Amino acid sequence: MKLATASQMKELDRQAIEERGIPSIDLMERAAEGVARAALDLLPQRPGRCRGAALCGAGNNGGDGIAAARLLFLKGLKIRAFLVGDYEKLTPDALEETRRLSECGVELERFDPADASQRAWVLGCDVVIDAVFGVGLSRPIAAGSPFAAAVDWMNESRAAVVAADIASGVAADTGDVLGRAVRADRTVTFTLPKIGQAVGEGAVLSGDVEVRDIGIPADLVRGLACRAQTVERDFVRTALPPRKIDGHKGTFGKVLIVGGAVGYTGAPWLTAAAAARSGCGLVFLGVPEAIWPVEAAKCVSAMPFPLPDKHGKLSPKAKEEILKRAAGCDAVALGPGLGRGDGVTELVLELLREIRQPVVLDADGINALAGHMDVLDARQDRVTVLTPHDGEFARIGGDLSAGDRLGAARAFTEAHGCVLVLKGHRTITAVPSGNALVNTTGNSGLAKGGSGDVLTGVIASLLAQGASPVQAAAGGVWLHGRAGDLAAERLTAYGMTPEDVVSALPAAIGEVQ
Ligand SMILES: NC(=O)C1=CN([C@@H]2O[C@H](COP(=O)(O)OP(=O)(O)OC[C@H]3O[C@@H](n4cnc5c(N)ncnc54)[C@H](O)[C@@H]3O)[C@@H](O)[C@H]2O)[C@@H](O)CC1
Ligand SMILES: [K+]
């Protein structure tokens, strides 16, 4: 699904109103219907027995809240509506909604942070509508301001919080928190989800996101070109290379995995097991000689072979053998459990310079790249997929300081011409064209050592089978997350391990094939 920016939403609204002649107040009424419906769903008992509040700004987001308050009042809810801001600043539509509310006998009250009875009402409600700011939030919510107090009250309240369009304080384009932000149970967002609801803190603060059609003509929405999307099952389906009925093990691609060190015997094995579970025909696993007997005993479906090592880590002398093996393979995964050191760095850089095949660079492979970004830049004519977590991303120059994960991922891929998989809650896959895909599968059970090794194996396997880099990367992330969800369903996020994720990969694949 497309993810929109604030300016794209404003432009869509403008086109609908000015070019298609749809009255803006009608859009607001439909937006309010969605918000009111969600509020009713969250009530613990029938509306007549419940209390509610709508905290409304003076902009059009506030107008949505004022209109929702009227609809909820008409359903029997005991509701009070508060204006956080000035009456003089109400937009024309918000003013009209204030009049309609007043006609029903409910006055829009001025929000007063010092009013203890107002506070007690909001804190004791069953449901609260957050309509302070929508996509018009343009600067941080100032500490000590009434807006800040309104956000704090909503977060302190025992009520279920329904955000109109976006949780107030969340930046629509980044998911960053501007000053402070509402923690919503549900967000009813209009027309399209916003980037800020899919990534960063906004992805958590939005609660359940429901997308509501408010009557913007479908052709306008279809025609909107978005550079960010969520990964959907249909995309993953196309990312899975078809399997020829008469194919043999050579047909489905060969993966070479290079990794491991004394102390890191699990990582390369997990990558190999994940690759084998994701469809490729053959998996070769090059590891330091010192741990080769361990891998040989562990691996059944993959073929481990020993490589020259020094002090338990791969030595630069391993280069020739790896290059020879890589030449016969369709994709290479480099990094799981390599460890760090001068010899490892030298080897990784040499391999990156020479390997022509698509490379998935992970973990200590990424760490080896730090300070040598020219080596990555020189691979722009070849496929390189980097899979860093935040720490590794920072080491290779990724800048997350602005709270804009998607923007940072996009800037990195545009600068270096690679595919970037920025791991974390809502992993982002960014490609050099500027497009970014946000993943929605996965759970906290994946936040365990070894999960990343599994992901690397899945991506390398898909690449070896002929998936495009973006399909392999974003599709692999989705499958890995979905396998994690299936593992958690069976074993809980506490009890599941990366091995369980490997075991669940076939079921995840089965859902989309
Ligand atoms: N006609 C339309 O364009 C529609 C708009 N809709 C709603 O309108 C929203 C957008 O409305 P607006 O563009 O009026 O913007 P908002 O209602 O989101 O907020 C804008 C107001 O907040 C002020 N403001 C921004 N940041 C502030 C800060 N940190 N501290 C204090 N004041 C701040 C601005 O100066 C402005 O007065 C959407 O999110 C949606 O909820 C819907 O009603 C559907 C139709
Ligand atoms: K809001």
In angstroms, the CA 441 to CA 253 distance is 26
Kindly report the protein residue whose alpha carbon is nearest to atom 25 of ligand 1: 137
Query: 3-state SS of the chain: helix, strand, coil percent to 5?
Result: 50, 15, 35
Q: What average pLDDT does range 38-49 have in this prediction?
A: 97
Task: Quickly count: other Cβ atoms within 10 Å of residue 18's Cβ.
Answer: 10
Identify the three-state secondary structure at position 513.
coil
452 labelled binding-site residue: yes
For ligand 1, what atom is nearest to the CA of residue 6?
39
Q: Is the pLDDT of residue 107 over 90?
A: yes
Report the pLDDT value the prediction gives residue 462, as an integer from 0 to 100. 98
41 labelled binding-site residue: no
In angstroms, the CA 91 to CA 85 distance is 12
Looking at the domain 2-226, which fold is it? Rossmann fold (3.40.50)
In angstroms, the CA 265 to CA 295 distance is 7
Task: Quickly count: other Cβ atoms within 10 Å of residue 92's Cβ.
Answer: 11
For ligand 1, what atom is nearest to the CA of residue 28?
43
pLDDT tens track for 468-501:
999 999 999 999 999 999 999 999 999 999 999 9
Report the pLDDT value the prediction gives residue 168, as an integer from 0 to 100. 98
Task: Please name the residues in contact with 202: beta carbons below 8 A apart, sequence gap of 6 or more.
Answer: 166, 167, 170, 171, 174, 175, 176, 177, 181, 194, 196
Q: Is the pLDDT of residue 286 over 90?
A: yes
Residue of 91, 133, 166, 182 to mutate, ligand 1, most atoms within 8 A of C-beta: 133
Mean pLDDT score of the chain: 97
Report the pLDDT value the prediction gives residue 178, as an integer from 0 to 100. 98
In angstroms, the CA 100 to CA 412 distance is 50
Between the alpha carbon of residue 61 and those of residues 27, 136, 144, 339, the distances in Å are: 12, 8, 22, 52
In angstroms, the CA 184 to CA 155 distance is 8
Q: What average pLDDT does range 33-61 have in this prediction?
A: 98
In angstroms, the CA 339 to CA 374 distance is 22
In angstroms, the CA 439 to CA 228 distance is 11
Q: Is the pLDDT of residue 198 over 90?
A: yes
Report the pLDDT value the prediction gives residue 248, as an integer from 0 to 100. 86
Q: What average pLDDT does range 149-160 have in this prediction?
A: 98
Kindly report the protein residue whose alpha carbon is nearest to atom 9 of ligand 1: 61
Q: What average pLDDT does range 111-122 have in this prediction?
A: 98
Ligand 1, CB within 6 Å, residue ranges: 13, 17, 24, 27-28, 31, 57-64, 89, 91, 133-141, 147, 164-165, 190, 214
Of 428, 339, 431, 438, the residue nearest 389 (C-alpha):
428
Identify the three-state secondary structure at position 318.
helix
444 labelled binding-site residue: no
Question: Global pTM?
Answer: 0.95
176 labelled binding-site residue: no
Task: Please name the residues in contact with 415: beta carbons below 8 A apart, sequence gap of 6 or more.
Answer: none
CA angle 16, 30, 134 (to 5 degrees): 75
Q: How far is the CA of 132 from the centre of ligand 1 (A)?
A: 8
Confidence category of residue 463, pLDDT binned at 50, 70, 90: very high
In angstroms, the CA 233 to CA 140 distance is 36
Report the pLDDT value the prediction gives residue 250, as an integer from 0 to 100. 82
Confidence category of residue 123, pLDDT binned at 50, 70, 90: very high
Report the pLDDT value the prediction gives residue 73, as an integer from 0 to 100. 98
The residue extents of the domains of the chain are 2-226, 248-394+405-512
pLDDT tens track for 231-257:
999 999 999 998 889 888 888 999 999
CA gyration radius for the chain? 26
253: left (phi over 0), alpha (psi -120 to 50) or beta: left
Contact 406, 440 (CB under 8 A): no
Write down the architecture of domain 248-394+405-512 according to CATH: 3-Layer(aba) Sandwich (3.40)
Tokens 């300016």, residue? 7
Report the pLDDT value the prediction gives residue 354, as an integer from 0 to 100. 98
Report the pLDDT value the prediction gives residue 486, as an integer from 0 to 100. 98
Contact 4, 193 (CB under 8 A): yes
Report the pLDDT value the prediction gives residue 249, as an integer from 0 to 100. 82
Is this complex's ipTM strictly greater than 0.95? yes
CA 362 to chain centre: 19
Report the pLDDT value the prediction gives residue 247, as an integer from 0 to 100. 86
pLDDT tens track for 89-100:
999 999 999 999
DSSP letter string over 73-116?
HHTT-EEEEEESS-GGG--HHHHHHHHHHHHTT--EEEP-TT-H
Confidence category of residue 271, pLDDT binned at 50, 70, 90: very high
Q: Is the pLDDT of residue 442 over 90?
A: yes
Q: How far is the CA of 170 from the centre of ligand 2 (A)?
A: 9
Task: Please name the residues in contact with 122: beta carbons below 8 A apart, sequence gap of 6 or more.
Answer: 53, 55, 82, 128, 153, 154, 157, 159
Identify the three-state secondary structure at position 359.
strand
Phi, psi of 187 (to 5 degrees): -115, 125
CA 401 to chain centre: 18
Q: What average pLDDT does range 32-45 have in this prediction?
A: 98
Kindly report the protein residue whose alpha carbon is nearest to atom 3 of ligand 1: 13
Kindly report the protein residue whose alpha carbon is nearest to atom 39 of ligand 1: 134
Q: How far is the CA of 283 from the centre of ligand 1 (A)?
A: 54
